[in-house]
Amino acid sequence: MEPIKPQRVVVMTGATAGLGAHAVSRIAAQLGTRVIIGARGSGTVPPDAEVIPLDLASFASVRAFADAVVRQLGDAPIDILVLNAGVQSATTDKRSAEGYELTFAVNHLAHYLLVRLLLPYMADHGRLVITTSSTHDPANTPIAPKTMEPQELARPSASGFGSGVRAYASSKLCNLLTAQALAVLDEVLVRRISVIAFNPGLTGGTSLGRDSSRARRVFFTFLMRTVFRVVGLFKPEYVMSTAERSGELLADVALGTVAPPPGRIYVSLVKGEPTFPDPSELARSRNARDRLWRESAVMVGLD
Ligand SMILES: NC(=O)c1ccc[n+]([C@@H]2O[C@H](COP(=O)([O-])OP(=O)(O)OC[C@H]3O[C@@H](n4cnc5c(N)ncnc54)[C@H](OP(=O)(O)O)[C@@H]3O)[C@@H](O)[C@H]2O)c1
Looking at residue 245, its amino acid is: R
- DSSP character at residue 157: S
> Is domain 8-300 classified as CATH 3.90.1150.10?
no
Active site residues: 168
Give the Cα-Cα-Cα angle 269, 180, 282 (nearest 5 degrees).
80
- The atom of ligand 1 lying closest to the CA of 43 is 39
Distance 210 CA to ligand 1 centre (A): 10
Q: Which of 176, 195, 60 is nearest to 127 (CA)?
A: 195
Instruction: Measure the CA angle with vertex 68, ends 66 and 69; round to 5°.
Output: 65
Residue 5: its pLDDT value, please? 60
What are the CA-CA distances from residue 137 to residues 143, 214, 226 (Å)? Answer: 9, 28, 22
Residues whose beta carbon lies within 6 Å of some atom of ligand 1: 13-20, 39-40, 42-43, 54-57, 84-87, 106, 131, 133, 200, 202-203, 206-208
Integer angstrom CA distances of residue 31 from 51, 63, 192, 254, 255: 19, 30, 24, 15, 12
For helices 110-118 and 163-183, the axis angle rounded to 10 degrees is 20
Q: Which atom of ligand 1 is nearest to the CA of 210?
A: 20
Pick the residue whose CA is nearest to atom 45 on ligand 1: 86
How far apart (Å, rounded) are the C-alpha atoms in residues 108 and 111? 5
The confidence score (pLDDT) of residue 6 equals 64
Give the whole-angstrom CA distance, residue 56 versus residue 112: 11
CA of 18 to the centre of ligand 1 (A): 7
Looking at ligand 1, which residue's alpha carbon is closest to its atom 44? Answer: 86
Order across the sheet with 273-275: list the strands: 50-53, 33-39, 8-13, 78-83, 122-131, 194-199, 266-270, 273-275
Q: What is the pLDDT of residue 192?
A: 98
Q: What is the pLDDT of residue 291?
A: 98
Extended beta strands in 132-232, E state: 194-199, 203-204
* CA 184 / ligand 1 centre spacing (Å): 27
Say what the pLDDT of residue 234 is. Answer: 84
Helix/strand/coil for 198: strand
From CA 73, how far away is CA 14, in angstroms rounded? 20
Residue 214: predicted pLDDT: 80
Give pLDDT tens digits along the chain (303 positions).
Answer: 555 566 899 999 999 999 999 999 999 999 999 999 999 987 789 999 999 999 999 999 999 999 999 999 999 999 999 999 999 999 999 999 999 999 999 999 999 999 999 999 999 999 999 999 999 999 999 999 999 999 999 999 988 888 999 999 999 999 999 999 999 999 999 999 999 999 999 999 998 878 777 887 788 788 777 888 888 888 888 899 999 999 999 999 999 999 999 999 999 999 999 999 999 999 999 999 999 999 999 999 997
